[in-house]
Amino acid sequence: MCYNLPMNKVRVGVLRGGPNKNYENSLREGQDMLACVDTCASASYIPVDVFIDRDGVWHTQGIPVLPMDLFHKVDLIWDTTMPACSQVLEGHIPLLKNPHFASTIVNDKSLLRKHMETIGVEMSRHVVLPVYQEDFDGPIEDYAAKKAVEVHAKFGAPWIVKSFTHNPDEGIHVAKTFPELMRAIEDLLSHKESILVEELILGKRGGVHTIAGFRGDDLYHMLPYETRINEIQPVGNFSDVENQKIYDLSENIFKHLGAENYLHFNFVIDKRGGIHVTEASLLPDFKEEEVLSHSARTVGSHRQEVFEHMLKNAMSR
């Protein structure tokens, strides 16, 4: 990546890594963001990789630096680490980051569920199964059966079983019986990743993106999109009443979490019209194949416009 920075381009430092349990996710998200600056906004912006290793040492261009050295190297920081990492830069460099409170809640589904309950928002029940370790956990078949019993004791069928890290190379299982649940857990355990088992609520599934300040609105909502298992429908089959309920819910969650820039959440509308939140995110995914790009097109926009809006919004604060 080029670091001979033209004077007429805004230098976007993407902060990633950091000495915390979110390290690997931050590296991946930061790399995606660097690529996005390079492809989505290269006419006006240029990416600068700002990496913090596990020992807390900061780097740019692979060279260790002090955080204060960044004042002359970047014009803006997009923070994909835990927010505490960038506190030293606050008030000195424009920051695009999520409040620590909001990030902590969104990254912990159990905590998110508790907070959603305080504002009357329902969430589907779930269980996270840890990474399988053969030496410690014993035969994989026995371990899968044991975990299936634990899940069944908390909530009944049907279940959605998938990788907790949302690995696109691994399928999403829908289990309607206890034997199917065991087989699904056993299959995903072999991939050596943690597993998310969720209550499958029957109804219309979808998601919505909300962006602060976009197109002059305090909170701009893109059209809710519909999802089916392993498939995205760019525009959802939702009524005007359902759309308004989704928008109102998004504003409620956005304000409750104290989000500053962006909120994306997935939901299920059950047969009685109730809305159940399944997951939420505060970090947009600008890859061309992801749902944000699809959603932007349904409102006559594109991912570049959304991306540049968020950068300009941070610069103008």
Place of tokens 């596990």: 54
Tokens representing residue 206 in the block: 């979808």
Sequence-separated (6 or more) residues with CB below 8 Å from residue 148? 178, 181, 182, 185
Task: Say which CATH superfamily domain 103-123+202-315 falls into.
Answer: ATP-grasp fold, B domain (3.30.470.20)
The predicted pLDDT at position 5 comes to 43
d(CA 262, CA 100): 14
Tokens of 253: 């969650």
Q: Is the dihedral of CA 287, 289, 290, 292 positive or negative?
A: positive
Token pair of 80, please? 């994909």
Tokens standing for residue 247: 């928008």
Nearest CA among 290, 279, 286 for reference residue 37:
286
How does pLDDT run across 293-313, given as a tens digit for each residue? 989 998 999 999 999 999 998
Domain ranges of the chain: 10-97, 103-123+202-315, 126-199
- Quick: pLDDT tens for 156-171: 999 999 887 655 556 7
pLDDT at 172: 83
CATH architecture group of domain 10-97: 3-Layer(aba) Sandwich (3.40)
Q: Would you say the pTM of this structure is higher than 0.95? A: no
CATH node for 126-199: 3.30.1490.20
**Which residues lie closer than 8 Å to 20 by C-beta, 6 or more apart?**
26, 81, 82, 85
CB 200 within 8 A of CB 220: no
CB atoms within 10 A of CB 189: 23
pLDDT value at residue 166: 57
How far is the C-alpha of 243 from the C-alpha of 270, rounded, in Å?
Answer: 14
Q: What is the pLDDT of residue 112?
A: 87
Same CATH fold assignment for domains 10-97 and 126-199: no
Spatial separation of the C-alpha atoms in residues 35 and 45, rounded to whole Å: 12
Closest CA to 311 of 77, 68, 87: 77
pLDDT for the residue numbered 254? 94
Q: Which residue ranges of the chain lie beneath pLDDT 50?
A: 1-5
Strand extents, DSSP E, 92-248:
95-96, 122-123, 126-129, 159-163, 173-175, 195-199, 204-212, 219-221, 225-228, 231-233
